[in-house]
Structure 1
């Protein structure tokens, strides 16, 4: 099995798409008219920004996806400039690699993993 997609639940899909497309500038928005749904494609991996509801709300209640970055300090600074804030870390995990979590403006966590340069 290979990961194919992650769903990020937000209270406002339009705002969520705008924020995540800015946070992940390499993502290519792909609109699916049959479903009136836009996916952010990251080299074949789908970042799907979806409406939170009574079954799945927003927030830090479970799984955190970690994104590999070349420079953790620069990535953290960029996310903070976009309105995210440091939630946990950075902590060293192995061989000069660190990890941290940032909280997006909607209450969800984004994991970052990489070297601090």
Structure 2
């Protein structure tokens, strides 16, 4: 389900070695997102559907790559979205697989190794 203005989740922080390149990539991955500029210009910020996507430099405390937490994004066409994201440089990491209720999920990795989950709802009966 897409985030709502009253969702308890307000931001997703993605750690990468090159936040500028990653911000450009995520803007392509989420073309409906709006770029938010900050001073100083030291991290990427995209606003989409009431959620802040914050792309920040990785460091010794939080590295880049798969580390256990994966945020899942609602998609209407899982195979089509996987194809679109892999054309942008992502790679299929896990799945696709059917889960409870007839939904489908998978994970792709961005070019920095971070996992993005994709979740397609079950077809309407």
**Alignment TM class, shorter chain as reference:** over 0.9
State the alpha-carbon separation in 2 of the partners of residues 60 and 53 from structure 1. 15
Higher strand share: 1
- Residues 4 and 51 from structure 1, CA distance in 2 versus in 1: closer, same or farther, beyond 3 angstroms? same
Check the 8 A contact 1:59/1:107 in 2, yes or no. yes
Gaps of 5+ in 2: 1-6
Aligned-residue offset at 1:62:
1.6
Matches within 5 A, 1:1-117: 2-33=8-39, 35-36=40-41, 37-115=43-121
Report the RMSD for the aligned CA atoms in angstroms: 1.6
TM-score for both structures, normalised by structure 1? 0.92
Gaps of 5+ in 1: none
Check the 8 A contact 2:101/2:122 in 1, yes or no. no
Check the 8 A contact 1:28/1:41 in 2, yes or no. yes
Q: Give the number of equivalent residue pairs.
A: 116
Check the 8 A contact 1:102/1:109 in 2, yes or no. yes
Q: Give structure 1 regions of 4+ aligned residues with deviation exceeding 3 angstroms.
A: none
